[in-house]
């Protein structure tokens, strides 16, 4: 942000509008002042400016315009205008207060002079591989024609719609009216859901509203509970203006010591329950049990408002029928659960028993005069994006137990989210939906219907399904842990160190026995771990999937590269066959490149075990490799289609016209692959004229340089593979950058690969016997000079203890001739490698169990599908299920004649269809996308 030491003041006659903040759900009021940039500006006296302020103003005035509240825009008349978006001191919500986001409202609007200058001003259409601007009329005509044709040809469900529900009701009204009403498609969802379902389904099942409180309740409450919510930093103004002034004690449930948690423990007489992530249900259950033990429940409320057995018998909604319980049943359940005793809960959740007791007192202990304590229960992402249904259901049950709803100072509510409003122009057409769960119709899971080919047009409005949940403050989190910034795909554990003692003396002379024993021991070790961070948990999850697979393929996409693979030296030359199928330009091997790469973790184990047990046969039982599918910008349909054909290695049906996705899916089914998928941003290369020229220039320069080094070689000739040729702009640029990276890498090879590692001069040319062969290969096959990519680019520069960069040992020039090499490979390893998935969306991992028994593979696939079928179950890593102690808590259900939410959202449970897409693992924000798919 530019540093300013002055802000022009709006003149008294400036245009003034009242608006609400564009960011969070608190909904602070702002005043927008607009006046010509050419002036005249206001003056600092009260009569001379639109704010009526006599400058300088004092603390809490709510009339100061901070630099971040000011911007310059250009309107359609071509003139520049000053804009000031200032917190509205007359607004009852914020009273002139603002958060860091709200104070920056003006920075987010379009300005020709700021970082927002490059926002689109025209519709773009992709023509001839490039995004071209067209007129609005043309865009509307194209959309109308296309949608009309698709509807006529395929029917309403051919349209999928994903749309935003923020800003104003006016936006969702026409969208839903058009798609749910006129077009009639069941394939629709708002921006962050898998289907048209709610975010707090359990709450609506119980009969409570998601937003069931007024701001005044915060000031009247005797206790404020923040469950998985960081009110100070995420609901700034609500917290500052409507909770802090009353100084009520707080109960903060959060694995992290947030500022809100610190506030609860130091500023007011509250308590912070620092639980182990994912144990919310047990904690809530323990609190409920303690309430019942002490007889602190609000009997009057419960008797008047919870369902009787008769009510439940007459229930029609299927989820309520399934989960509902009377109060007595609920009490019996809570008292039956061993996990809910204070001692057990303390052990499971990591929260000391006395803190649970203290929290229970704060939440439910009646006042001295016998009236129930006024408790305001708030919860947010920590609860909703964890084990959604059970957690929210448990909190809803707590609300019923304490009568926290519908009375001053008492209530339950979400505490967060963006501005949202949903006004349906038409109801979701559940009758058209084809997904079911246990025989009940549920809203369609869009992505599945797209994968099935039912959807022909995907209309995305104000949403980003590709990058969903992966961006944080405009940064792509990808495989980096949101809190620690750690890359979960590095620093894989050293399995040898972990299991060597368990294996001591148990290895036999039977190779097969040894492999099975090792795998079993690894599995036991994984199961015995209790991960402390999300990154550790991911590593264990992935390792669990991979530890007993014959082939482990880690599909990546580099920043800028040709196709290449990384693998272990022992696996060569077998895996070269795989590299050939892929058309890899280079194969890189290393026993240990440092940093703990995934493709090394299992080979390391077998290698070290073999070395440590010289008398016992320990084969290299895991063929692991990282497949780098070019650069992130190489997003071209024909490359993808070509790659999708390659994994099969089956050239016969290469050109039968089968769409790539369908072929991929067929292959996946045929080979019983389990795929885990993560994602980093797709970079759609911009192809404006200027960019093209720049690229061309770069190629020319690099081409000339290369030619200078290598003698006469025409530009573009250096690209490794025929199919890449013609993609001059991308492939040649990749080759050029690969070549330059290679020369850098090559310098380091001399250091790491040569005899003398301490040799300070790494600028000598690469000297390695293999490279002579490489030269010949290169000349013969027109390979680029040394198409390596520096693997240590951003997150994992491998260095030795002395800080010197380590680079993998390079094996090049080992391409066996097609015929002979094949035969050798067949003799050596009868099963050909397979198990690739299209890797163009970024980082993809395919974990193939090629040689495990068919029965086992089938079981595993079913298990994987089954996990995804059961929406109301906790995810497999959820402690509740891992420990096998917890049953589903039955949720008490409120009687019918209670107010239902004003905007009726159809409740949903996710698809019960067998999963045919690879399971998605969002490497960001822990498991949000997997979970949200299962538990909308």
Binding site for other proteins (CB under 8 A): 1-9, 41, 43-45, 55-62, 64-69, 96-104, 232-233, 236-237, 240, 259, 263
Q: How far is CA 597 from CA 489, 791, 797, 853, 923, in A?
A: 7, 11, 11, 28, 16
Structure tokens at 875: 């995810």
Say which DSSP state 660 is in: H
Spatial separation of the C-alpha atoms in residues 81 and 35, rounded to whole Å: 5
Closest Cα partner for 339 from 284, 390, 379? 284
Q: Indicate the residue among 67 and 155 with the shorter CB distance to other proteins.
A: 67
Q: In the bound complex, what is the minimum distance in angstroms from residue 403's beta carbon to other proteins?
A: 32
Q: In the bound complex, what is the minimum distance in angstroms from residue 795's beta carbon to other proteins?
A: 24
Q: Indicate the residue among 67 and 901 with the shorter CB distance to other proteins.
A: 67
Q: Indicate the residue among 102 and 874 with the shorter CB distance to other proteins.
A: 102
Q: In the bound complex, what is the minimum distance in angstroms from residue 636's beta carbon to other proteins?
A: 37
Q: Count the alpha carbons within 13 Å of 515 in the hemisphere toward its beta carbon.
A: 14
Q: In the bound complex, what is the minimum distance in angstroms from residue 8's beta carbon to other proteins?
A: 8
Q: In the bound complex, what is the minimum distance in angstroms from residue 93's beta carbon to other proteins?
A: 14
Spatial separation of the C-alpha atoms in residues 30 and 237, rounded to whole Å: 13
Q: Say if residue 461 is exposed, middle or buried (CB neighbours under 10 Å; 0-12, 13-18, 19+).
A: middle
Spatial separation of the C-alpha atoms in residues 243 and 249, rounded to whole Å: 10
Q: In the bound complex, what is the minimum distance in angstroms from residue 690's beta carbon to other proteins?
A: 24
The answer to whether the CB of 213 falls within 8 A of the CB of 225 is no
The answer to whether the CB of 876 falls within 8 A of the CB of 860 is no
Spatial separation of the C-alpha atoms in residues 408 and 222, rounded to whole Å: 11
Q: In the bound complex, what is the minimum distance in angstroms from residue 103's beta carbon to other proteins?
A: 3
Say if residue 56 is preceded by a cis peptide, omega within 30 of 0.
Answer: yes
Containing H/E element for 239? helix 236-242
Map 327-342 to HEC letters: HHHHHHHHHHCHHHCH
Q: Indicate the residue among 64 and 340 with the shorter CB distance to other proteins.
A: 64
First-to-last alpha carbon distance for the chain, in angstroms, is: 38
Q: Indicate the residue among 259 and 513 with the shorter CB distance to other proteins.
A: 259
Closest Cα partner for 221 from 198, 179, 251, 266? 251
Dihedral, CA atoms, 494, 495, 498, 499, nearest 10 degrees?
-160
Say if residue 407 is preceded by a cis peptide, omega within 30 of 0.
Answer: no
Q: Indicate the residue among 242 and 913 with the shorter CB distance to other proteins.
A: 242
Spatial separation of the C-alpha atoms in residues 151 and 158, rounded to whole Å: 7
Closest Cα partner for 787 from 600, 584, 634, 556? 584
Q: In the bound complex, what is the minimum distance in angstroms from residue 844's beta carbon to other proteins?
A: 37
Q: Indicate the residue among 101 and 707 with the shorter CB distance to other proteins.
A: 101
Q: Indicate the residue among 85 and 620 with the shorter CB distance to other proteins.
A: 85
Q: In the bound complex, what is the minimum distance in angstroms from residue 113's beta carbon to other proteins?
A: 11
Q: In the bound complex, what is the minimum distance in angstroms from residue 7's beta carbon to other proteins?
A: 5
Q: How far is CA 657 from CA 128, 153, 457, 580, 625, in A?
A: 21, 21, 21, 23, 30
Q: In the bound complex, what is the minimum distance in angstroms from residue 417's beta carbon to other proteins?
A: 19
Q: In the bound complex, what is the minimum distance in angstroms from residue 48's beta carbon to other proteins?
A: 8
Q: Indicate the residue among 6 and 136 with the shorter CB distance to other proteins.
A: 6
Q: In the bound complex, what is the minimum distance in angstroms from residue 43's beta carbon to other proteins?
A: 6
Q: In the bound complex, what is the minimum distance in angstroms from residue 95's beta carbon to other proteins?
A: 10
Q: Say if residue 912 is exposed, middle or buried (CB neighbours under 10 Å; 0-12, 13-18, 19+).
A: middle
Q: In the bound complex, what is the minimum distance in angstroms from residue 39's beta carbon to other proteins?
A: 9
- Report the SS3 class of residue 785: coil
Q: In the bound complex, what is the minimum distance in angstroms from residue 69's beta carbon to other proteins?
A: 7
Q: Indicate the residue among 173 and 215 with the shorter CB distance to other proteins.
A: 215
* 324 backbone dihedrals φ, ψ, rounded to 5°: -65, 150
Spatial separation of the C-alpha atoms in residues 593 and 752, rounded to whole Å: 10
The answer to whether the CB of 253 falls within 8 A of the CB of 382 is yes
Q: In the bound complex, what is the minimum distance in angstroms from residue 42's beta carbon to other proteins?
A: 8
Spatial separation of the C-alpha atoms in residues 390 and 406, rounded to whole Å: 23
How does 518-533 read in b/e, with b if 16+ C-beta sit within 10 Å? bbebbeebbeeeeeee
Spatial separation of the C-alpha atoms in residues 307 and 319, rounded to whole Å: 15
Closest Cα partner for 370 from 317, 300, 284, 475? 300
Q: How far is CA 799 from CA 342, 492, 628, in A?
A: 49, 16, 21
299-308, long-range: CB < 8 A, 24+ apart:
300/403, 301/372, 301/400, 301/403, 302/327, 302/400, 302/401, 302/403, 305/400, 305/894, 305/895, 305/898, 306/400, 306/892, 306/893, 306/894, 306/895, 307/892, 307/893, 307/894, 307/895, 307/896, 308/895
Q: Indicate the residue among 259 and 636 with the shorter CB distance to other proteins.
A: 259
Residue labelled with tokens 């002395």: 802
Q: In the bound complex, what is the minimum distance in angstroms from residue 249's beta carbon to other proteins?
A: 18
Containing H/E element for 846? strand 844-848
How crowded is residue 838: how many other Cβ atoms within 10 Å of its Cβ?
A: 23
Spatial separation of the C-alpha atoms in residues 577 and 571, rounded to whole Å: 11
């Amino acid at each position: 942000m530019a540093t300013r030491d002055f802000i022009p003041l709006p003149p008294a006659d400036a245009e003034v509008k009242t608006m609400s903040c564009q960011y969070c759900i608190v909904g602070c009021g702002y005043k927008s002042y607009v006046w010509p940039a050419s002036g005249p500006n206001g003056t600092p006296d009260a009569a001379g400016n639109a704010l009526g302020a006599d400058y300088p103003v004092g603390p809490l005035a709510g009339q100061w315009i901070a630099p971040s509240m000011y911007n310059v825009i250009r309107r359609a008349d071509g003139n520049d205008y000053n804009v000031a978006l200032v917190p509205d001191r007359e607004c009852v919500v914020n009273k002139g207060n603002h958060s860091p986001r709200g104070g920056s409202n003006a920075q987010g609007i379009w300005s020709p002079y700021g970082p927002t200058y490059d926002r689109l001003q025209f519709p773009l259409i992709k023509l001839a591989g490039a995004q071209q601007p067209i007129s609005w009329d043309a865009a509307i005509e194209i959309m109308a024609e296309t949608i009309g044709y698709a509807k006529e040809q395929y029917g309403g469900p051919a349209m999928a719609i994903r749309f935003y529900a923020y800003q104003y009701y006016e936006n969702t009204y026409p969208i839903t009216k058009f798609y749910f009403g006129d077009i009639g498609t069941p394939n629709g969802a708002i921006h962050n859901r898998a289907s048209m379902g709610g975010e707090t389904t359990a709450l609506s099942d119980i009969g409570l509203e998601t937003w069931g409180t007024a701001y005044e309740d915060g000031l009247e409450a005797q206790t404020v509970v923040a469950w998985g919510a960081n009110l100070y930093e995420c609901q700034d103004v609500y917290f500052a203006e409507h909770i802090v002034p009353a100084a009520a004690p707080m109960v903060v449930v959060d694995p992290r010591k947030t500022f809100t948690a610190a506030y609860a423990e130091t500023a007011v007489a509250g308590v912070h329950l620092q639980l182990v992530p994912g144990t919310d249900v047990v904690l809530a259950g323990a609190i409920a049990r303690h309430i019942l033990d002490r007889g602190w429940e609000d009997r009057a409320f419960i008797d008047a408002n919870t369902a009787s057995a008769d009510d439940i018998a007459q229930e029609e909604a299927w989820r309520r029928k399934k989960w509902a319980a009377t109060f007595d049943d609920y009490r019996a359940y809570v008292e039956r659960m061993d996990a809910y005793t204070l001692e057990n809960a303390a052990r499971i959740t990591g929260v000391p028993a006395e803190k649970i007791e203290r929290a229970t007192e704060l939440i439910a202990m009646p006042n001295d005069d016998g009236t129930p304590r006024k408790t305001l229960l708030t919860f947010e992402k920590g609860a909703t994006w964890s084990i959604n249904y059970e957690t929210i259901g448990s909190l809803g049950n707590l609300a019923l137990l304490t009568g926290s709803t519908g009375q001053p100072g008492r209530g339950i509510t979400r505490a967060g989210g963006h501005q949202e409003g949903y006004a349906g122009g038409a109801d979701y057409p559940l009758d058209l939906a084809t997904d079911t769960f246990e025989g009940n119709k549920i809203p369609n899971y869009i992505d599945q219907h797209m994968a099935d080919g039912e959807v022909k047009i995907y209309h995305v409005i104000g949403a980003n399904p590709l990058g969903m949940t992966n961006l944080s403050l405009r940064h792509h989190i990808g495989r980096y842990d949101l809190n620690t910034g750690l890359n979960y795909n590095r620093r894989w554990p050293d399995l040898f160190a972990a299991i060597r003692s368990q294996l001591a003396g148990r290895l036999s002379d039977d190779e097969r026995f040894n492999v099975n024993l090792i795998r079993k021991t690894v599995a036991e070790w994984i199961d015995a771990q209790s991960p402390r961070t999300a990154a550790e948990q991911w590593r264990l999850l992935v390792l669990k999937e991979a530890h007993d697979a014959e082939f482990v393929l880690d599909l990546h996409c580099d920043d800028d590269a040709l196709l290449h693979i990384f693998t272990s030296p022992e696996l060569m030359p077998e895996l070269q066959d795989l590299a050939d199928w892929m058309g890899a330009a280079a194969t890189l091997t290393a026993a240990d490149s440092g940093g703990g790469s995934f493709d090394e973790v299992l080979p390391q184990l077998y290698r070290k075990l073999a070395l440590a047990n010289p008398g016992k046969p320990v084969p290299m039982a895991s063929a692991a490799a990282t497949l780098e599918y070019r650069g992130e910008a190489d997003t071209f349909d024909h490359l993808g289609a070509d790659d999708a054909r390659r994994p099969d290695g089956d050239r016969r049906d290469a050109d039968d016209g089968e769409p790539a996705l369908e072929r991929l899916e067929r292959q996946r089914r045929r080979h019983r692959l389990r795929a885990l998928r993560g994602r980093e941003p797709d970079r759609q290369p911009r192809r404006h004229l200027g960019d093209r020229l720049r690229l061309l220039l770069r190629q020319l320069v690099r081409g000339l340089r290369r030619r200078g080094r290598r003698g006469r070689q025409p530009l573009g000739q250096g690209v490794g593979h025929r199919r890449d040729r013609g993609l001059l702009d991308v492939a040649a640029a990749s080759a050029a950058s690969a070549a330059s990276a290679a020369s850098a890498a090559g310098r380091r090879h001399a250091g790491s690969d040569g005899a003398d590692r301490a040799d300070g001069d790494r600028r000598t040319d690469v000297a390695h016997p293999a490279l002579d062969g490489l030269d010949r290969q290169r000349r013969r096959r027109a390979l680029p000079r040394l198409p390596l990519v520096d693997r240590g680019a951003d997150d994992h520069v491998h260095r030795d203890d002395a800080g010197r960069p380590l680079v993998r040992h390079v094996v090049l020039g080992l391409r066996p001739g097609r015929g002979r090499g094949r035969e050798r490979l067949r003799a050596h390893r009868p099963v050909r490698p397979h198990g690739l998935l299209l890797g163009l969306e970024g980082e993809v991992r395919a974990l193939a169990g090629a040689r495990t028994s068919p029965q086992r593979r089938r079981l595993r696939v079913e298990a994987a599908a089954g996990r995804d079928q059961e929406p109301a179950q906790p995810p497999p890593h959820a402690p509740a299920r891992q420990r096998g102690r917890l049953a589903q808590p039955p949720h008490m259900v409120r009687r019918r004649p209670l107010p239902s939410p004003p905007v009726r959202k159809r409740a949903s449970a996710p698809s019960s269809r067998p999963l045919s897409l690879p399971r998605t693992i969002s490497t960001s924000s822990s498991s949000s996308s997997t979970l949200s798919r299962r538990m909308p």
